[in-house]
Amino acid sequence: MLSLIRYLSYLILVSVIATEILFRIFDPIGISYIYEIKRYFKRTVPHEVFAYHHEPNLQDTFQGIQTSFNSHGFRGPEFSPAKPADTSRIMILGDSVVYGWGVRYESTFPALLQDAYDASNESIEVIPAGVCSWNTRTEYEFFREIGSTYQPDLLVLVVVFNDIEPKKEGRTEVDKQVLFPKADRPKSFLTNMLEDVRRFAVKHSYLFAYIRYFWTEYFKAGGGGGPGLSTESPQWTDARLALDGLIRLSEKQGISLVVYLWASESELETNPILKLYANHLKTRGITTLTAPDAVRNDPAYRISFVDGHPNPEGHKLIAQKMRNDLRTMLPARDINQVEQP
């Protein structure tokens, strides 16, 4: 019996090690995204107003993509804070979708949009202002503090479902003690110990990361949809106040505003968070558009099973749709001075 137990123990150990090695080599569903995004956040720098930002002129590799940031802390070419004469400027503001996670900058939709304008000799400059996991509050605080000084004629705000989730860093209008209420009952010593073991295992093992991913997605999922599912929730209140601030600031400075909700048309009816955004923007009379249906619904346009960010082909579809959507939203002298392709 002891020999059998030892044999089974060795077999399990060898199987676990072999599985771990295979997952690290092949990573069939792209669990490496979890580790890479954590490393990315370690390279950001804190900001007292809008939580965090990229280090200016930083160069690094994230998710296997050589990445460089300009002196303003964004991906993309260098640009002058002052808008060039006889040029219309589009600022695209958002999170990892605008940043172009997992894709070379040349293949991101802001870069493709700029290429299209250049090819048709349109005097339009595209500034992508994307930082992974920025939310509506951080985006507004950045735009109020810095972004509006770049003098955009058109502001394109990209909203994803987790933009309602607050940050513990940076400025908020709703008190942070309300946004982050303390648990009524402290966890037991055993519960905390098991949680620490779980975090350690997931941090150092692809195998445990796989187990946690599928457990979370298929066994513990089914209910929530995240915080802020009510118009009265503090998370939505802070996001709504930031959104209203962005609208007021745009109107005050004569900047056209259009919002892209990171969803297909059908998703707006099933995603409670984006529905909150859509309904509120409608009451404020703000042009609201959606992502291409294929990018949201077809896995072929995702980077991996785990990583739902658009791949290069997905970015192409976004750029094509956005180019068509924005044709009439800039001054007529820039849009109509040349024949559109």
pLDDT of residue 278: 96
Whether residue 198 is contained in a domain is answered as no
Whether residue 3 is contained in a domain is answered as no
Whether residue 14 is contained in a domain is answered as no
pLDDT of residue 184: 63
pLDDT of residue 339: 37
Whether residue 17 is contained in a domain is answered as no
Whether residue 301 is contained in a domain is answered as yes
CATH code of the domain in which 158 resides: 3.40.50.1110
Whether residue 205 is contained in a domain is answered as no
The dihedral built from the CA positions of residue 296, 142, 250 and 115, taken in this order, carries a sign that is negative
pLDDT of residue 187: 75
Query: Cβ distance 33 to 306 under 8 Å?
Result: yes
**Strands 124-130 and 154-159: what pairing?**
unpaired
Domain count, the chain: 1
Whether residue 23 is contained in a domain is answered as no
pLDDT of residue 229: 66
Range of the domain at 169: 32-180+224-335
Whether residue 42 is contained in a domain is answered as yes
Residues in the chain predicted with pLDDT less than 50, given as ranges, are 221-228, 333-341
| Residue appearing with tokens 């490393």 | 39
pLDDT of residue 224: 40
Rounded Cα distance, 176 and 193, in Å: 27
